[in-house]
Structure 1
Amino acid sequence: MVSTLSRRSLLGGAAAVAASGLLAACGRGGSDNAASGSGAWSFTDDTGATVELDARPTKIAGLNDAIASLWNYGIAPVGSFGQTGLADDVNFKGRDLSKVTELGTTHGEINLEQLANLAPDLILTHAYPVDSSGKLDPSKPLFGFKDLQQQKLAGEIAPIVALAMKGSAAGVVDRTVEFAKSIGVTGQTLEGPRKDYEAARARLENAAKSGLSVMAVAAYQGDGIYIAKAKDDPALRSYTELGLNYPDPGGSEYFWQQVSWENIVDHPVDVVLYSLRAMSGEDMLKQPTFAETPAGKARQVFPWEFSSMDYVAQARTLNKLAENLEGSRKVT
């Protein structure tokens, strides 16, 4: 269960992650001609692989989490795969999905024949680390792929670019912007969203001054509660960088600390964020021991949603978290 949970699949509401220790822009980004749309295009991704094309890519398929960011910057995808269907993904709310081919709606499900028919210029996905150091393991498939064989076959249809989901979300957002600029997204397009994002970060930073303690979890009837570790989840890490009080749940496992329903009382906090891909807050409150925790008693239990790594989605999530903190009180 833990290996599965150490991926965004069971976060549903969380898991972002920023590329720490980025190389210099000249070694990581696209060519100067790429942004103008003329000449050859190249990009070195976070696995160290360099993709080179005769021209800037315009038809892009990929992981829901990644292509959602491009769409927020004005570039609609041609095909998608990921944990859910697009209609069930909060990152695509309000989008016209009629021209996007869903290649798969569960992890590892990718219709390669449909992908080939789309003839994309590029496939964009994420790479997740295997431990707290942020290490990427090339012997494991990139996120969204069932196995290395499926990834290889997809790569024969179109080159794959992977952005690493490690470190802080702030870094992943920057890295995603870097990729977006390489394929033609302009500074003018990014200016307004960037200001909104920075304002949302400032709002959360101010809300965090209340000192309210927060815990993000994925809860299951039979397995108990998995408490996310802020140092391993990019979004949570970015919140702590803004001053959020997020207690370390302990344990030696990467990303999660699993506790029983009976032992959740040993982790009292003011606010609990629950994964949208696990038990709802309402169902968690039906568990007697959780209902007796400080956050449970105060009914300070809010959704924890995964938001794509871009200015638009992150601003929305940061503002929502700040709003929830502003409306909560100290109960521990």
Structure 2
Amino acid sequence: MKVLTAARVSALILAPVLALAALSGCSSAGSADGASTGAGSTLAASTAAADGPWSFTDDTGTTITLDHQPTKVASYSDYAIGLMSYGIDPVAIFGRVEVATDDRFASYDLSNTAVVGNSYGEIDLEALAAAAPDVIVTGIYPTDREGTLDTTAAYYGFADTEQQAQLEKIAPVIAIEVGGKGMDVIASINRLSEALGVSDETVAAAKTTFDAAAADLTAAAAETKLEVTQMYADADGIYVVKPADEPETELYRSLGVNFTDLNPTGYYYWDIYSWENAAQMMSGDVLLVNVEGYQAAELTGQPTFAAHPALVASQAHTWNGAALDYASQAAHMTELTQILRSSKAL
């Protein structure tokens, strides 16, 4: 059985890849959601003035200072979506899958955006440099449940520290911490967006839609009382996300969704089962199956898993991790609400 790092396996769920997934932060005026934040809440407030110096302290404690507010942003896809939901169109995007076929971008116009990477860690440095970004946005995942950040390792989405050093020669890198509470991740995206010029009114409007979707998800979870298993599978076996460790599942659980959580204090981020032991985790009424791994057909082909009640009842759903911003999460919560209401207890 292979052992995956927390950052890489997070991509499999969140969006990610998985996301979901103790990123913290708030705007200098207080986050629009009013949620408490973690480490980011102690950082210096960012300053933004379109006609003067600009600074922003990211979730690693690094302060980026420029002589003007950034107008040209390059970003890893998960965070680009959050910025685009507020009207900030990146000049360049790199992602873990082909951006052109990533359905999370379906409602956005990418005609003026350079796609400089379609596979994790593979970034066309020349194309990125040609886009001339003022800043590059990516993430950093904690290495454990306590939220420890290893800033000596490459940030999320980068192949290695050598590549990161090359990127930093093109533009300063802003890191968003992705771990712990989902609302903290959203607050951090909001803090960066506001530093880039997004108005409080724009954020508040997005929150209104988010709140309505969250309330409906809570109602659906209470009505159905179903257990949801969020997972990734491949030739080695099954990886079941620990709901407290992935920001998106942490958020949904806080809204009442009942996630499979057989070993909450065990190995960080995943419960891992070989195919020989797959039957141990057959407790969910609904399976949310990560889009990048085995799907229902492949799962049915595994003798030790084919009898899973959710598979038999056609209650296994392909699941692509949403970005952790108000708009993306409102849409994702609506999708999960529909899944719950169309499913039955097994």
- TM-score norm. by structure 1 comes to 0.92
Aligned to 1:84: 97
Alpha-carbon distance, 1:26 to partner: 7.7
Counterparts in 2 of 1:180 and 1:119: CA distance versus 1, 3 Å: same
CA contact (8 A) 1:40 1:54 kept: yes
Fraction of identical pairs, as percent = 36
State the distance in 1 between where 2:7 and 2:114 align: 28
Say whether 1:16 aligns with 2:20.
Answer: yes
Per-residue displacement from partner, 1:62-109 (whole Å, max 9, x unpaired)? Answer: 211111111111011111112012112222113222221121111111
CA contact (8 A) 1:6 1:254 kept: no
Aligned to 1:166: 179
State the distance in 2 between where 1:104 and 1:320 align: 28
State the distance in 2 between where 1:28 and 1:201 align: 31
CA contact (8 A) 2:248 2:324 kept: no
The DSSP-based 3-state class of the residue aligned with 2:210 is helix
Say whether 1:183 aligns with 2:196.
Answer: yes
State the distance in 2 between where 1:208 and 1:66 align: 28
The alignment yields a C-alpha RMSD, in angstroms, of 1.9
Paired AA for residue 27 in structure 1 = L
Alpha-carbon distance, 1:285 to partner: 2.7
Aligned to 2:233: 219
State the distance in 2 between where 1:302 and 1:119 align: 40
Where structure 1 has 5 or more consecutive residues not aligned to the other structure, the ranges are: none
Counterparts in 2 of 1:22 and 1:9: CA distance versus 1, 3 Å: closer
Aligned to 2:324: 309
Per-residue displacement from partner, 1:230-276 (whole Å, max 9, x unpaired)? Answer: 11111011111112111323283321122123432222111111000
Counterparts in 2 of 1:324 and 1:112: CA distance versus 1, 3 Å: same
Which of 22-31 and 83-92 deviates more?
Answer: 22-31
CA contact (8 A) 1:29 1:179 kept: no
State the distance in 1 between where 2:214 and 2:123 align: 36
Count of residues in Structure 1 that have an aligned counterpart in Structure 2:
327
Alpha-carbon distance, 1:162 to partner: 0.5
Where structure 2 has 5 or more consecutive residues not aligned to the other structure, the ranges are: 25-36
1:261 to 269, 275, 291: 275
The DSSP-based 3-state class of the residue aligned with 1:291 is coil
The DSSP-based 3-state class of the residue aligned with 1:289 is coil
Aligned to 2:314: 299
Paired AA for residue 194 in structure 2 = K
Alpha-carbon distance, 1:6 to partner: 4.8
Aligned to 1:133: 146
Paired AA for residue 9 in structure 1 = A
Aligned to 1:195: 208
State the distance in 1 between where 2:165 and 2:7 align: 23
Say whether 1:117 aligns with 2:130.
Answer: yes
CA contact (8 A) 2:238 2:274 kept: yes
- TM-score norm. by structure 2 comes to 0.89
Alpha-carbon distance, 1:287 to partner: 2.8
Paired AA for residue 269 in structure 1 = G
Alpha-carbon distance, 1:195 to partner: 0.8
Paired AA for residue 184 in structure 1 = G
